[in-house]
Chain A
Amino acid sequence: MPETQTAVAVRELTLSEAVKEAIAEEMRRDPTVFILGEDVAEAGHPFKVLVGLVDEFGKERVLDTPISEPGFTGLAVGAAMTGMRPIVDIMFGDFMGLTMDQIFNQAAKIHYMSGGKWKVPMVVRTTMGATRRSAAQHSQSLHAWFAHIPGLKVALPSTPYDMKGLLKTAIRDDNPVIIFEDKMEYKRKGPVPEEEYLIPFGVADIKREGTDITLIATSSMVHVALGAARLLDEYDVSAEVVDPRTLWPLDEKTLIESAKKTSRVIVIDEGYERYGVTAEIASTIATGAFYDLEAPVKRMGAMQVPIPFSPPLEDVTVPTDKSVFEAAMALCGQTV
């Protein structure tokens, strides 16, 4: 038996633990790395993602800030320009609106405006994802805003393995990187090797191979797509699930190759459909695989409404295993 097939008990971590391990490893490796945000130290973040970090690194490197998102995001921009590598924690993606000037006018543009002289090596970690019954100001998935802006990189890890590898890459990147973590996924477990690894940006991951239809999905929608794929199996429809992992840089090649192979594509993302990530990727597929497609690219995203509070209302706003399954069957000309 080849050595690579030797059964090794692979360690499992939650997505939350993967976040913390990535940050801790990078803070041990590089003394200029630090994290700042609201309730990050003793509180360990409201979602408890950072519990224990302050014990190892102290309050100077795990820095509780005032509730001043524009201020401490901008402070991170200045610190990043002058020798530190800050990780900014913005508790809810909905609060990113407060930080916008510092992110899209400052962090994203300083390298370019200065003719390449100043660099802004900072990471902003924030959350996305609905169905937590948190209503309209704590539930949005706004990652498309940032993928729109030249100068920013945007990552959406869907598994603990990807989370750790992408976050470590982000911390070492010399550019501003925005990482969106789905708050509903923090407890999801998955294999994470003990040994160090990095995941390069701009490399999509085929989460499941298939031949009849491609489901391109981001963040938690990867798991929705995998659930739909299992339902499709029962009807002998073989679905391939592709996770771009980073919205920018975007691995167009892998997405187009999968589309060419299966000839049918659904793009699933928890952001709004209108002018969103699904539109961008659908356009990429339409341009790159037009003559190989058997059907128009289908897009599935958050319903075009503010996220409602009441469960029966909120639940219909996001794609589910079932809705993706039904859309895939329809796209393949099959009846359930």
Chain B
Amino acid sequence: MSTVVDRSKMTREEIDRCLHMYRQMIKIRSFEDQANQLYLRALMPGLTHLYAGEEAVAVGVCEALRPDDYVTSTHRGHGHCVAKGAALDRMFAELLGKRAGYCKGKGGSMHIADPDTGNLGANAIVGGSTPIATGAAFSAKRLGNGRVAVCFFGDGALGQGVLYESMNMAAIWKLPVIYVCENNLYNEYTPMQEVTAGDIQTRGPAFGVPSNRVDGQDVQAVYRAAKEMIDRARRGDGPGYLVADTYRYHGHHIGDINREYYRSKAEEAKWRERDPIKLFSDWMISNGLVNKAAVEKIDVDVRAEVEAAVDFAVKAPYPTPDEVDQDIYA
């Protein structure tokens, strides 16, 4: 975790940012814990892919974005939605297939989208959103609205050619898009290194796209690296490519329980020692930004907010069958 700082030299804004990032991370963790419970209680149709363990990536990046900036997300997308400002009650409602959900129950966990927070949508096709984020950046440049687009994807998308087509176009047209690779080490159930050649950071420089690689468990490192790229893109200096090394605590999806055939419990335990939330709260407390009681109060507040959101979603009505053929065409 980041080095010792002199609290007296931190601005109020910096301290508030830290507290906000902490709150956002704990919100994602609590959201995922509750999503897991909803699955175990058989209240959630289908499956979901939990983001727990990777919180510092979504939060560090989105903290550096404006509310009107764009993001595209993945099948493991709850963290990006929360970090970009989505309301938890409407997210849970979507997970449960309720009409009050962000997509009226038509999208589910893998497709949450929200124009109000610049969320172009989670995408269940690995790599499928890479040209879409690039297109949003294209619009931003043409319309001159100063927006930036962030494309979140996992290491699995490194195997999709459309990512490289997108990077190429972003580079030649200097588009304000940041490609953020959340390297959680596994392409579904296959170790990334078994199916991925070379140094993954070199994908950007091959196209002349500036790249960086950060500890994805360190929210401040992610924030700083993302901020630099986002500011650069907003100035008109083109795309960036950020690799964040991180880890998913759960399996590929929520039902992927027995996973020792592809990764060991020892490895999982080792990564949990570097929990991004714990690392950050320890750092804030040891540097005197907050005391333990203040952190615990945030935890309690967020947990109450998340529980209320679950309650809202559980009680919310389903869509009626006559809604099935609405919204096919605009």
* Total count of chain B residues near the partner, CB < 8 A: 44
Q: How many A-B residue pairs lie within 8 Å, measured between CB atoms? A: 149
New A-B contacts (15) at CB < 8 Å, excluding given A70-B131, A75-B135, A77-B132: A66-B168, A73-B131, A74-B132, A75-B131, A83-B139, A84-B143, A101-B162, A110-B121, A111-B328, A114-B102, A114-B106, A116-B326, A120-B330, A121-B330, A175-B329
Report if A114-B172 is in contact (Cβ < 8 Å); known contacts: A84-B138, A106-B128.
no
Task: Enumerate 27 A-B pairs (CB-CB under 8 Å) in ascending A order.
Answer: A66-B168, A66-B172, A70-B131, A70-B165, A72-B169, A75-B134, A75-B169, A77-B131, A77-B132, A78-B72, A78-B135, A78-B138, A79-B138, A82-B136, A84-B143, A105-B125, A105-B128, A106-B125, A110-B121, A112-B327, A112-B328, A115-B103, A117-B102, A118-B120, A151-B328, A151-B329, A175-B329
Identify which of A70, A80, A82, A150 contacts B162 (C-beta below 8 A): A70
Q: Which of A68, A71, A84 is the most central at the interface, judged by chain B CB atoms within 10 Å of its CB?
A: A71
Q: Which residue of A lies closest to B163 (CB)?
A: A71
A105 to B165, CA, bound (A): 18
A71:B162 contact, CB within 8 angstroms: yes
Q: In B128-158, which residues have CB < 8 Å from any A CB?
A: 128, 130-140, 142-143, 149
Q: Is A246 an interface residue (CB 8 A)?
A: no
A101 to B161, CA, bound (A): 12
Binding site for A on B (CB under 8 A): 70, 72, 101-107, 111, 113-115, 120-121, 123, 125, 128, 130-140, 142-143, 149, 161-162, 165-166, 168-169, 172, 326-330
* Total count of chain A residues near the partner, CB < 8 A: 43
A83:B132 contact, CB within 8 angstroms: no
Q: In A127-186, which residues have CB < 8 Å from any B CB?
A: 150-151, 153, 174-175
Identify which of B70, B125, B135, B168 contacts A101 (C-beta below 8 A): B125
B328:A113 contact, CB within 8 angstroms: no
Q: Which residue of A lies closest to B102 (CB)?
A: A115
A248 smallest CB distance to B (angstroms): 10
A313 to B131, CA, bound (A): 40
Q: Which residues of B contact A70 (CB under 8 A)?
A: 131, 161-162, 165
Binding site for B on A (CB under 8 A): 32, 34, 60, 65-66, 68, 70-84, 86, 101-102, 105-106, 110-121, 150-151, 153, 174-175
Report if A81-B132 is in contact (Cβ < 8 Å); known contacts: A70-B165, A101-B125, A117-B114.
yes
A8 smallest CB distance to B (angstroms): 37
Q: Which residues of B contact A151 (CB under 8 A)?
A: 328-329
A66 to B164, CA, bound (A): 12
A106 to B111, CA, bound (A): 11
Q: Which residue of B lies closest to A34 (CB)?
A: B142
Q: Which of B104, B121, B131, B327 is the most central at the interface, judged by chain A CB atoms within 10 Å of its CB?
A: B131
Question: Nearest 9 A-B pairs (CB), nearest first?
Answer: A78-B135, A74-B131, A71-B165, A115-B104, A116-B327, A115-B103, A78-B132, A68-B165, A174-B330
B108 smallest CB distance to A (angstroms): 9
Q: Which residues of B contact A150 (CB under 8 A)?
A: 328
A110 to B125, CA, bound (A): 12
